[in-house]
């Protein structure tokens, strides 16, 4: 059994805080100081006076926290917790695309590596993507790396040309229309909420496409009691904790194995040793900070 008192004592001793993404295991969400989506956690990382930030998520999230807080110790409990979609963007190919399209601005989803952020004009998350994309002055946009999110955002700027990188999140791309329709047959009154990283045919049959925090706010304010949740299954834990009288129907196969690499034992190890730390070379970190800070100035859209 986890002794929460021990974790609290260790946090106080080292002036540490624990940030956890909405997709983390229930036991990690239970010990976190803040739970949220990528944008939320990036903001939380900048607005606290802890010396050590233990980031329970995947590496691009911890790297973003480090870029925005270069003087703090940002610790990722498992250095192998990586987002496969972020890792797959080839920097050389993107640079070639940028040279071929000199008039385009590069919008990179926060789910990218630091080196890709460093050659981007602005970042976005799924919660402020629409507002970011609308803020772009250029008539041409290169969007990396999620083609599902890119196609979703393109609908908001039909007059512009958008070159969309062909990446996908394997977890969200695994959600098919039939998963949703089968749940809907069982729960006719349920509202369908899906993440914009889902395939377009899944988004089309949903009631709303929202970021994870967007879903949390929607459910809280909704009079409905039943929801089909088309995103990583871990979100349903937080939804149920915050809305015990409502029912949530997840897609059971929508599990991100990288998010689940963070365990209590690894978090305790971080609290004891203050490692493994995120270290980023100064020049690339300064370049990557520019698009991230630009993004932070754009409000959420959900």
Which residues contact ligand SF4 (rule: CB under 6 A)? 58, 83-85, 111, 169-172, 232, 256, 258-259
Decide: 273 and 76 in contact? Cβ < 8 Å.
no
State the minimum distance, in angstroms, from the CB of residue 259 to ligand SF4.
6
CA distances in angstroms from 145 to 86, 149, 172, 236, listed in the order given: 7, 9, 14, 26
**Smallest distance from the beta carbon of 78 to ligand SF4, in angstroms?**
13
> Omega into 145 within 30° of 0, i.e. cis?
yes
Helices (H), 55-106: 59-68, 84-87, 91-100
Q: Is the C-alpha dihedral spanning 229, 232, 234, 238 positive or negative? A: negative
| Shortest distance in whole angstroms from residue 199 CB to ligand SF4 | 13
Cβ count near 231 (within 10 Å): 28
259 versus 298: smaller Cβ distance to ligand SF4? 259
DSSP letters along 101-147, please? TTTEEEEEESSS-HHHHTT-SEEE-TTTHHHHHHH--SSEEEEESBH
Nearest approach in angstroms of CB 109 to ligand SF4 is 9
Complex with ligand SF4: residue 105 or 232, whichever CB lies closer: 232
d(CA 107, CA 141): 7
Token pair recorded at residue 127: 């919660």
Do strands 140-144 and 161-164 pair parallel, antiparallel, or not at all (unpaired)? parallel
What are the C-alpha distances in Å from 140 to residues 149, 254, 294? 17, 33, 18
Beta carbon nearer to ligand SF4, 31 or 81 = 81
Q: How many CB atoms lie within 10 A of CB 63?
A: 25
């Amino acid at each position: 059994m986890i002794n929460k008192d021990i974790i609290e004592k260790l946090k106080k001793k080292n002036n540490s805080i624990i940030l956890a993404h909405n997709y983390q295991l229930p036991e990690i969400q239970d010990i976190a100081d803040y739970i949220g989506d990528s944008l939320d956690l990036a903001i939380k990382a900048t607005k606290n006076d802890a010396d050590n930030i233990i980031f329970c998520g995947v590496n691009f999230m911890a790297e973003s926290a480090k870029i925005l807080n270069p003087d703090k110790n940002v610790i990722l409990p498992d250095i192998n917790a990586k987002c496969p979609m972020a890792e797959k963007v080839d920097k050389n190919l993107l640079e070639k695309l940028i040279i071929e399209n000199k008039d385009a601005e590069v919008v990179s989803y926060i789910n990218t590596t630091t080196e890709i952020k460093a050659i981007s004009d602005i970042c976005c998350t799924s919660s402020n993507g629409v507002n970011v994309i609308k803020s772009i002055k250029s008539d041409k946009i290169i969007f990396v790396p999620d083609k599902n999110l890119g196609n979703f955002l393109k609908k908001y700027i039909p007059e512009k040309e958008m070159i969309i990188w062909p990446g996908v999140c394997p977890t969200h791309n695994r959600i098919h229309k039939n998963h949703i329709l089968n749940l809907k047959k069982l729960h006719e009154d349920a509202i369908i909420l899906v993440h914009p990283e889902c395939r377009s045919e899944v988004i089309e049959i949903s009631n709303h496409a929202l970021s994870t925090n967007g879903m949390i706010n929607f459910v809280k304010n909704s009079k409905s009691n039943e929801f089909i949740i088309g995103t990583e299954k871990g979100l349903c834990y937080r939804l149920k904790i915050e809305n015990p009288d409502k029912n949530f129907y997840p897609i059971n196969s929508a599990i991100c194995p990288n998010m689940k690499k963070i365990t209590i034992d690894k978090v305790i190890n971080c609290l004891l040793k203050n490692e493994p730390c995120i270290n980023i070379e100064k020049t690339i970190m300064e370049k990557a900070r520019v698009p991230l800070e630009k993004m932070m100035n754009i409000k959420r859209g959900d």
